[in-house]
A and B are shown apart, each in its own frame.
Chain A
Amino acid sequence: MLLLARNLFLASLILFYKSEKNNLTFTVHHTCSIEGGKELVLKNAPFLSEYRPLEDKKPFLGEGYYFWEYNLDYAKVWGRYHYSNKYFIVESNVYIDHERENYYLDLVGNRKHLVFFVRLLTKFNLLNKIGTKGIDLCFIIDYLRKTIPEAFPFKVIRAVDYKNKDREGIKIQFNDKGNSFTILNPRFIFSFKNKEDIVYLEKPFITFTS
């Protein structure tokens, strides 16, 4: 009886999350090592990307649980290079409560969030002109989280991973006037600070084995 009530509650929760008003849901992919086997991976994924600069472990957005947003192909590329081609890709649908206070910073598709983050960085120019010049983003995020958590309370960050190579990316011009174009295959990253911050709409499953 209790189990039935719980399942009904979860089902209604999912329906609520999926309703039009709250439809910030994403299909995400997480690449991990094949070590330990499927059961261990299904039980424990996603795995923490640790922040240990001295060991050259510097995740892009600081320590956290990382996913590619709907990007099975790039998750495979990641597995090829980071797990010596021995990897699983775990897929799931997650829900982002964008209205929850201190929760979500979208550096991909929300100009208000981007403007905020730029303002945050330029606050360091109160000290001197140089401010955060020359400092990598992973250091800044880690510093803010550890030293001034009130200034960076966000549990989930979404960002674009651009590569410094011109030929990568499907660029398409809008029209023949000027140089405006858009990129049709950007790579979006999700970084969750804590595992408990991830709200799954379905149980993660292994979608690819190398």
Chain B
Amino acid sequence: MDTFEKALLALENYILGNKERVASDLEEMRKKSEGNDIFNYVESLSYSLSYENVSTNKEVTYNFDFLEVDTYSFINDSENSHLYAPPCIKNNETIKKSSEILSELFF
């Protein structure tokens, strides 16, 4: 069992063995806490970590014979291929929002 699993197990055992005390300790900490809580952060992080929220491009199945695959140009037929093109290839007419680079903020 690795360090993380051991730690999780230790915490779980402690919580389950000391429910009332831990609940009371949490309440005390909650009262002492000021400002922004991290729960919203944890909530959104948990959400982003969940498998259901992994966004992927729609899967496309190509049904080609072996010989065709060898010569088929996926790049030309992929409507998203431009996403991976280096910036110099992109159409310069699209002016991106400029980065907010202020030298005094570079820390």
Q: How far is the CA of A112 from the CA of B8 in the complex (A)?
A: 14
Say how far A107's CB is from chain B's closest CB, in angstroms: 10
Known contacts A122-B46, A150-B6, A175-B83; A127/B19 CB under 8 A: yes
Establish whether residues A171 and B100, one from each chain, have CB atoms under 8 Å apart when the complex forms. yes
Establish whether residues B45 and A136, one from each chain, have CB atoms under 8 Å apart when the complex forms. no
Chain B residue numbers with a CB within 8 Å of A139 are 29, 32-33
Known contacts A136-B37, A173-B97; A74/B107 CB under 8 A: yes
Residue in B7, B23, B42 whose beta carbon sits within 8 Å of that of A151 in the complex? B7
- Determine, out of A8-16, A161-169, A196-204, the stretch whose residues face the partner at the interface: A161-169
Chain A residue, CB-CB nearest to B16: A126
Establish whether residues A169 and B105, one from each chain, have CB atoms under 8 Å apart when the complex forms. yes
Contact with B along A84-110 (1 / 0, CB 8 A): 000000000000000001100000000
Establish whether residues B25 and A143, one from each chain, have CB atoms under 8 Å apart when the complex forms. yes
**B39 at the A interface (CB under 8 A):** yes
**B94 at the A interface (CB under 8 A):** yes
Residue in A73, A128, A148 whose beta carbon sits within 8 Å of that of B107 in the complex? A73
Interface size class of A (residues with CB under 8 A): 35 or more
Return the 5 tightest CB-CB contacts between A and B, nearest first. A73-B107, A74-B107, A151-B11, A150-B10, A133-B39
| Residues on B facing A (Cβ under 8 Å) | 3-4, 6-8, 10-12, 14-16, 19, 22-23, 25-26, 29-30, 32-39, 42, 45-46, 49, 83, 94, 96-97, 99-102, 105-107
With A128-B23, A148-B14 given, name 5 new contacts (CB 8 A).
A76-B107, A116-B4, A123-B11, A136-B34, A170-B100
| Residues on A facing B (Cβ under 8 Å) | 53, 71-74, 76-77, 101-102, 112, 114-116, 118-124, 126-128, 130-137, 139-140, 143-144, 147-148, 150-153, 164, 167-173, 175-177, 185, 187
Q: Could you give 11 example pairs across A and B, Cβ below 8 Å?
A: A114-B45, A126-B16, A136-B32, A136-B35, A136-B38, A140-B29, A147-B25, A152-B7, A171-B100, A173-B96, A185-B105
